[in-house]
C-alpha cells in the first residue's frame, strides 16, 4: 500500500489493486459510510447518481379507483 495523504484525523492509502483504505488516528481502519464520505471529500471517488424513478400516470390509478367504486 502506498500512503497518499495524512491528516490529523486519518491517513489515506491506495492499495495495489487501486482501491483506497482509510486508517483513523486511533490506528483502526475506517469502513462503510464514514470511509465513503472521507474519500468523496478528498475527491478520490465520485458517487453514482441515483436512477430516476419513472412517475406513474395518475390517470390510470383514477380509472382503477372509479372501476372498483
Would you kindly state where each structural domain of the chain is located, as residue ranges? 2-50
Task: Output the pLDDT for position 67.
Answer: 57
Number of H helices, E strands in the chain: 2, 4
Task: Output the pLDDT for position 35.
Answer: 93
* Cross-strand pairs, 6: 11
Q: What is the C-alpha R_g of the chain? A: 23
What is the distance between the alpha carbons of residues 52 and 69, in angstroms, rounded to a whole number? 33
How far, rounded to the nearest angstrom, does the alpha carbon of residue 8 sit from its chain's CA centroid?
Answer: 23
* Model confidence at 69: pLDDT above 70: no
At 1-53, the pLDDT tens digits run 999 999 999 999 999 999 999 999 999 999 999 999 999 999 998 888 888 88
Amino acid at each position: 500500500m502506498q500512503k497518499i495523504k495524512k491528516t490529523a484525523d486519518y491517513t489515506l492509502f491506495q492499495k495495489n489493486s487501486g482501491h483506497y483504505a482509510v486508517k483513523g488516528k486511533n490506528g483502526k481502519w475506517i469502513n462503510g459510510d464514514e470511509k465513503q464520505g472521507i474519500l468523496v471529500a478528498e475527491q478520490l471517488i465520485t458517487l453514482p447518481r441515483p436512477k430516476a424513478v419513472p412517475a406513474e400516470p395518475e390517470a390510470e390509478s383514477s380509472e382503477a379507483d372509479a372501476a372498483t367504486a
